[in-house]
Amino acid sequence: MTHQELMPFGGIVEQLRQFCDQRRTGTAFIVSDDNRMAQVHMDSGNIVMLLCRGRRGADALAAMRTMLRASVRFDDSYVARKDNPKAAGVSLADLLDDPAPLRPRVPLRAGPQPTRPRPPPAVFASADLLRLERMLAGHIGPMATIVCAEHASEASDLRALVLALAADIPDKKQAADFRLEAGRALGLGAV
């Protein structure tokens, strides 16, 4: 396992390039200073999947680029399944070489932006959160604690929380299994 302290996001990209050069297999877990998480799944130095805030591939990369400072932890024991080497048909290794600046996106038009009212986050029973965290850990490993806390702070109800957590599971079958298992465990039925 490799772990580093907070560094500018450009340093994270350089660290990922080093993992590629070293032909590493496993998952790089990236956590920003504002507790956003990304996962970079690698197989023999090739990036096979990129996840960030429930997004995959190019969309995940766009979400990652808004991180200003982050830390990275590489876990050799957490390996993504190899049945989807291009992750939605996008070569993720090419995307990391994108010369676009690594900075937050700025709205195109000035002035106040219209906002939709967002329901306030729900308050969940700690037993429910612990149960979800344990189930999620079986699919994404030790980062389940961070992922669960992040989504719980934004979800409006248990069903929304289960769906958000399932979106962070790279394998679609495992995500469906998680939704079913979590729905039953929490008395939600099919989610």
Residues of the chain with pLDDT under 50: 1-3, 84-94, 98-110
Pairing of strands 69-75, 26-32: antiparallel
Main-chain dihedrals φ then ψ at residue 52, nearest 5 degrees: -160, 120
Q: Identify the pLDDT of residue 107.
A: 41
Report d(CA 179, CA 6) in Å as an integer.
33
| Under 8 Å between Cβ of 105 and 66 | yes
Can you read off the two tokens belonging to residue 164? 């958000």
Say whether pTM exceeds 0.75: no
